[in-house]
């Protein structure tokens, strides 16, 4: 995992590694056990200026490359998956604004403020009643009255909703608009009322704190991105989400493998020269991990080849299929690696309090197939495959 070159990139990756090891790792178990937000790690990322990594330098950010942001997700994912996923999701929102602000003075000003104050941005994309299809909305912008629109949206999950400084929300353009005629609107924390729905006690990714909310928000008209959400989704939000999430999952799987390897080495030291069945399983595990690593790395490179130079390519069905396949493959392979690591470590992997514990890794990795359900993506892909040519 080393593709980034510039000094800004190296600084970001070094900061992510340091924060992962010194801040995120020591609190990862507590964050998981208590299902609490990883405050200390996110604060450390703020102090390092990492929340504006993707904001261009002329707007006060680090102007880091997409590859470096992806590698930072991987490094954090190796130590605390919840911290890594919060970081990844925030960067996705920033990337959507950076890539689609389309000369908007308001959004340029907002990104400057985000860099200066290290604001954390969450997204409100999922919605009750859409069957998990992000390309449809029930909630709509209404108004505007005196230049301010409003909305109410039933969101089944809002990751770190209670901890974010602002929200990017998908909404129908107007009350009479079709479900697929969506825009992306930014609301500041003080303009949003979050009414909690239910509790947050999930299997994994517990530190992302993603309960449901009824969201009531106000959006001054200049805070709506001009591009249709359909464009933002295929050129940025969907491929970037799939790539950054996959880097988080690869980080989780890599640490599970590292723990299995540490277990085997410790066993080999105890009984030098004796046959070690777990060593064979470790070798099999490595080949599983290498498949995951190859898919994640290749997708990153392919996105890098077109993300700035050929945006039209990102809208093509063959490209949409390609990054959908990344998401499906990585979200299925990462828990497989974690489960096989558990097979290598046995009971000391199953217990939650040993250096070889991989239960948290397995639970965290299992969230992948639900983040935009793989079934929903397969349904989309099945349709695209009927018409796309060279896939």
Partner 1 sequence: MKEQIRQVISEHGQLSVPIETLADDADLYQAGMTSHASVNVMIALEDSFDLEFLDSMLKRSVFESVDSIAAALAEVRSAAV
Binding site for partner 1 (CB under 8 A): 135-136, 177-181, 230-231, 234, 312-313, 315-318, 380, 383-384, 386-390
In the complex with partner 1, the residue whose CB is nearer, 9 or 381, is 381
Question: How many other CB atoms are there within 10 angstroms of residue 324's CB atom?
Answer: 20
d(CA 290, CA 270): 28
Residues 222, 381: contact at Cβ < 8 Å?
no
Helix (H) or strand (E) holding 300: helix 277-306
**Minimum distance, C-beta of residue 376 to partner 1, in the bound complex (Å):** 12
Q: Measure the CA–CA gap between 287 and 25, rounded to whole angstroms.
A: 26
Looking at beta carbons only, is 78 or 99 nearer to partner 1? 99
- Residue with Cβ nearer partner 1 (181 or 191): 181
Our CB check for partner 1 shows the closer of 128 and 388 to be 388
Contact 159, 209 (CB under 8 A): yes
- 374-385 vs 317-345: helix axis angle to the nearest 10? 140
Min dist. Cβ of residue 246 to partner 1 (A): 23
Q: Which is nearer to partner 1, 174 or 262 (CB)?
A: 174
Shortest Å distance, C-beta 207 to partner 1? 34
Q: Taking the complex as a whole, how short is the minimal distance between the CB of residue 373 and partner 1, in angstroms?
A: 16
Q: Which residues of 179-199 are buried (b: 16+ CB within 10 A; e: fewer)?
A: eebbbbbbbbeebbebeeeee
Measure the CA–CA gap between 154 and 322, rounded to whole angstroms. 31
Q: What is the DSSP-derived secondary structure letter of residue 21? A: I
| 21 token code pair | 């090891």
Name the residue nearer to partner 1 (CB basis): 172 or 360: 172
Residues 207, 32 contacting (CB under 8 angstroms): yes
CB of 167 to partner 1, least distance (A): 25
The smaller minimum CB distance to partner 1, of residues 347 and 387, is found at 387
Instruction: Provide the minimum distance between the beta carbon of 130 and partner 1 in the complex, in angstroms, as a whole number.
Output: 12
Instruction: Look up residue 122 and give its two tokens.
Output: 């969450």
Q: Measured from the CB of residue 89, what is the shortest distance to partner 1 in angstroms?
A: 24
Widest Cα–Cα separation across the chain: 79
In sequence order, what DSSP letters do the residues of 86-106 get, joined into one string?
HHHHHHHHHHHHHHH-TT-HH
Q: In angstroms, rounded to a whole number, what is the distance separating the alpha carbons of residues 163 and 39? A: 9
**What's the min distance (Å) between Cβ of 316 and partner 1?**
5
> Considering beta carbons, is residue 328 or 384 the nearer one to partner 1?
384
- For residue 169, the SS3 value is strand
Q: What angle do CA 94, 98, 100 make, to 5 degrees?
A: 115
Q: How far is the CB of 215 from partner 1 (least distance, A)?
A: 25
Output 202 or 228, the one with its CB closest to partner 1. 228
The DSSP annotation for 228-260 comes to: -HHHHIIIIIHHHHHHHHHHHHHHHHHHHHHHH
């Amino acid at each position: 995992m080393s593709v980034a070159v510039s000094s800004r990139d190296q600084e970001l990756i070094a900061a992510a590694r340091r924060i992962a090891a010194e801040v995120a790792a020591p609190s990862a178990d507590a964050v998981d056990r208590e299902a609490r937000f990883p405050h200390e790690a996110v604060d450390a990322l703020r102090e390092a200026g990492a929340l504006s990594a993707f904001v261009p330098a002329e707007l006060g950010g680090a102007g880091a490359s997409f590859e470096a942001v992806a590698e930072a997700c991987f490094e954090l994912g190796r130590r605390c998956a919840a911290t890594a996923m919060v970081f990844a999701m925030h960067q996705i929102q920033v990337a959507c604004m950076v890539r689609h602000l389309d000369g908007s003075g308001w959004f340029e000003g907002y990104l400057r403020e985000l860099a200066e104050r290290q604001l954390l941005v969450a997204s409100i994309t999922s919605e009750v009643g859409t069957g998990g299809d992000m390309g449809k909305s029930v909630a709509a912008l209404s108004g505007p009255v005196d230049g301010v629109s409003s909305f109410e949206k039933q969101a089944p999950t809002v990751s770190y909703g209670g901890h974010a400084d602002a929200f990017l929300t998908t909404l129908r353009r107007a009350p009479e608009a079709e479900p697929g005629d969506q825009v992306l609107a930014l609301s500041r924390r003080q303009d949003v009322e979050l009414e909690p729905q239910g509790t947050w006690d999930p299997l994994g990714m517990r530190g992302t704190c993603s309960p449901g909310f009824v969201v009531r928000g106000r959006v001054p008209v200049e805070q709506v991105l001009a591009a249709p959400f359909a464009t933002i989704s295929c050129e940025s939000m969907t491929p970037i989400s799939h790539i950054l999430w996959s880097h988080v999952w690869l980080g989780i799987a890599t640490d599970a493998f590292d723990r299995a390897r540490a277990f085997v080495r410790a066993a080999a030291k105890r009984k030098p020269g004796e046959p070690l069945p777990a060593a064979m399983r470790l070798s099999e595990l490595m080949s599983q991990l290498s498949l995951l690593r190859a898919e994640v790395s290749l997708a990153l490179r392919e996105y890098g080849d077109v993300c700035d130079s050929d945006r039209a390519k990102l809208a093509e069905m063959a490209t949409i299929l390609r990054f959908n396949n990344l998401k499906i493959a990585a979200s299925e392979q990462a828990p497989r690696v974690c489960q096989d690591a558990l097979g290598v470590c046995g009971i000391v992997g199953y217990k939650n309090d040993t250096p070889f514990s991989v239960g948290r890794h397995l639970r965290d990795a299992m969230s992948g197939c639900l983040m935009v359900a793989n079934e929903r993506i397969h349904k989309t892909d099945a349709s695209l495959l009927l018409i796309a040519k060279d896939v």
